[in-house]
Amino acid sequence: LKVSTGYHILHNEPTHHQTNYHGFRFLHSPDPFVYGNSLPTSPAPLNPFLPVASALTGYAPPTTAPRTVTCPSPPSICEKTAYRTMDGSCNHLERPGLGVPNSRYGRLLSPKYADGISAPPRSISGDELPSARLVSLVAFGEQDVPDPQFTLHNMQWGQIMTHDMSMQAGGTQSKKHPTRCCTDDGRLIGLDTAHKTCFAIIVPPHDPAYSQVGTECLNFVRTLTDRDSNCQYTGGPAEQLTVVTAYMDLSLVYGNSMEQNSDIREFQGGRMIVEERNGAKWLPLSRNVTGDCDAVDPNEVCYRAGDVRVNQNPGLAILQTILLREHNRIADALSALNPHFDDRTLFQEARKINIAQYQHISYYEWLPIFLGGENMFKNRLIYKAPGGSHVNDYDPNIDPSVLNEHATAAFRYFHSQIEGRLDLLSELRSVLGSLTLSDWFNRPGIIEVGDNFDSLTRGHATQPEELTDINFDRQIKHFLFRRNMPFGSDLRSLDIQRNRDHGLASYNDMREFCGLTRAHSWEGYGDLISPQVIEKLKSLYESHEDVDLTVGASLEAHVAGALAGPTFLCVLTEQFYRTRVGDRFFYENGDKMTGFTPDQLVEIRKASMARLLCDNGNHIENMQHAAFKTVSASNPVVPCSNIPLVDLTKWIDLNGHATPDHAAIFGKK
């Protein structure tokens, strides 16, 4: 399919006819975009469901006093320091509170709440929008289509970045929410008794999964907003709050406050706490197993980390462990190179290197797969120069906050990459067994059993992720967090309902904002969405103006070289531009106090996902160079010793009296 719409985003150009929400404009590309393999593969449109009676909707008017949220308390005046703070405060020296926990998401377009303040949107006719579950079932498929190019680590790293950048306030995103909007047997709790934050998802009759057990309602609790906070609301439409730092600062490893950090830090040798079990080093154990995990046995392993979502799935717990071990590996090496360094210096220097490697892998190895390398170069998200040269592009006029459109719609499109079967592989990459995802949600202990840690790490480096398309794996579409029950929740329904909860601008509005043509009828979407899919949308929504951003933009054909259609690509590109340029500590900056020397930068730029896995597995001996990509003749599995390594001797403090023991540190693989 070839079409001729697309855009380049040009930063810092004067704006002409575009909106003034930010300083970019979107131009049509002279080259036609060639669309990838994202066209629907699920069966032709068929809507077996009856319309849902609007009286059944679960949005309950306020009946109780609002819950309050902790107020951020950044210092009023910032001192320029060598290292990031734990809560992101003072990254921006004049606006200390930018990007701190418990602050608002950013937004590209004004919200479209039904009442202008906070009620979820309705159809332009005034009726209810179609049930999110109905939309999930009709517009999205559940076919298992493996991606020939990318591995499960590619998907998993995306969740790591997500957990670093944002978390909506008011729930754990994995543990059963204490607020019940549906009874445990799946009946709607009456509007008069339901909590005011309830916005339950109504299951249509004849639901292929839930009707088997009589589930009529999926629990859904609204995100807390500045209106629930007694320090941030200044009137007008509600804005949701995010409880982690917006910066890509590995807050999921180090915590989002000094307090959280102190709880997981060893305070010796610059190390973070690890606990030794069966000869390996693991994340420390949670002090509240039943509260943090869905353990079957109270002695089951359940972790404590910088982010509360750490236990959510095995692949996530593995990467959290790997990033933690990497910190300690660096701290130990620095300590041997610089015996005069105290705990704090070792901790902060190791943290700085760990974050820099992670930012490098994210921007130069991972994001080009998703956003397209050329698109990133053109929009100044990455640079071709490197070597040891700095990129001094920090711009205090750019707000680093995570955009609501990004976290609530665009970035969640990659839920499509989730695979419900996790293979365990030997060093020779042969399959030893596999795990079913829904058996192991919130039960990370499985990664400590036998050789599972390495087998799953190799599995994620070998097994293809699911194709980024309209299909969402059954394990997350009917069995999410099922906790031993026959069925669980549906992540795609949650994504759609969350889009409404946050009152995101419509698909059509966002198209226009991104420089694409605004549709004046259903046919107007035909430039990017196939006719069959438009028919499905017509069967669901009353008007083309009603289509949710999460829905419409997930159905677009992809831009060539990227893993999203033009609308999501626009949002994602904008986000990752802001995340880079709005971060005073971004690793490529050459500030004397906060940056790296050219020699050190050359080393950081050697960091790779492959090396990270090699260095921090239990006994991983071999890896392919590009670990986000499947093994092939051009990406063969090689011994770890063939994979470039960041030489930490560039961090010897020549002003001190370091006596490095190179053999001890760098002699091993």
- Using CB under 6 A as the binding rule, whether residue 498 contacts ligand HEM is answered as yes
Stretch of residues binding ligand HEM (CB under 6 A), selected from 32-40, 156-164, 291-299, 591-599? 156-164
Stretch of residues binding ligand HEM (CB under 6 A), selected from 21-29, 62-70, 412-420, 579-587? 412-420
- Using CB under 6 A as the binding rule, whether residue 103 contacts ligand HEM is answered as no
Size of residue set near ligand HEM by CB under 6 A: 22
Residues numbered 474 to 493 that lie near ligand HEM (CB under 6 A) are 476, 491
Stretch of residues binding ligand HEM (CB under 6 A), selected from 23-31, 190-198, 404-412, 549-557? 404-412
Query: What is the SS3 assignment for 425?
Result: strand
Which amino acid, 129? Answer: L
Residues 556/565, Cβ–Cβ less than 8 Å? yes
Which sign does the torsion angle of CA 106, 110, 112, 114 carry? positive
475-494 burial by CB neighbour count: b if 16+ within 10 A, else e? Answer: bbbbbbbbeeeebbbbbbbb
Going residue by residue from 449 to 478, which x/- string records binding to ligand HEM, judged by CB under 6 A? ---------------------------x--
CA distances from 137 to 39, 284, 443, 485 (A): 17, 40, 28, 21
Least distance between ligand HEM and beta carbon 547 (Å): 19
CA neighbor of 137 nearest in space, from 438, 465, 416, 472:
472
Q: Which pairs count as long-range contacts for 88-97, CB under 8 Å and 24+ apart, including other chains?
A: 88/245, 88/246, 88/247, 88/249, 88/251, 88/256, 91/247, 91/400, 91/583, 91/584, 91/585, 92/396, 92/400, 92/582, 92/584, 93/396, 93/584, 94/396, 97/72
Q: Which is nearer to ligand HEM, 168 or 622 (CB)?
A: 168
Which sign does the torsion angle of CA 623, 627, 629, 635 carry? negative
- Using CB under 6 A as the binding rule, whether residue 658 contacts ligand HEM is answered as no
Least distance between ligand HEM and beta carbon 153 (Å): 11
DSSP letter at 29 equals: -
- Using CB under 6 A as the binding rule, whether residue 362 contacts ligand HEM is answered as no
Going residue by residue from 229 to 268, which x/- string records binding to ligand HEM, judged by CB under 6 A? -------------x--------------------------
d(CA 529, CA 257) in angstroms, rounded, equals 44
Among 337, 355, 418, 564, interactor with ligand HEM by CB under 6 A: 418
d(CA 318, CA 323) in angstroms, rounded, equals 9
Least distance between ligand HEM and beta carbon 501 (Å): 8
- Using CB under 6 A as the binding rule, whether residue 38 contacts ligand HEM is answered as no
Residue 415 is labelled as binding a ligand: yes
Q: Which of 8, 11, 92, 163 is catalytic?
A: 163
Is 163 one of the catalytic residues? yes
- Using CB under 6 A as the binding rule, whether residue 313 contacts ligand HEM is answered as yes
Q: Which run of H or of E encompasses 218?
A: strand 217-218
Query: What is the SS3 assignment for 121?
Result: coil
Going through 16-162 in order, the beta strands assigned E by DSSP cover: 25-27, 33-34, 58-59, 103-104, 146-151
Least distance between ligand HEM and beta carbon 563 (Å): 10
Among 159, 261, 320, 530, interactor with ligand HEM by CB under 6 A: 159
Q: Which is nearer to ligand HEM, 159 or 624 (CB)?
A: 159
Among 152, 167, 551, 604, interactor with ligand HEM by CB under 6 A: 167
Stretch of residues binding ligand HEM (CB under 6 A), selected from 47-55, 144-152, 153-161, 573-581? 153-161
CA distances from 474 to 205, 269, 429, 435, 627 (A): 19, 46, 26, 14, 26
- For the annotated catalytic residues, the residue numbers are 163
Q: Enumerate binding residues for ligand HEM (CB under 6 A).
A: 155, 158-159, 162, 166-168, 173, 242, 312-313, 407, 411-412, 414-415, 417-418, 476, 491, 494, 498
Question: Binding site: which residues?
Answer: 415
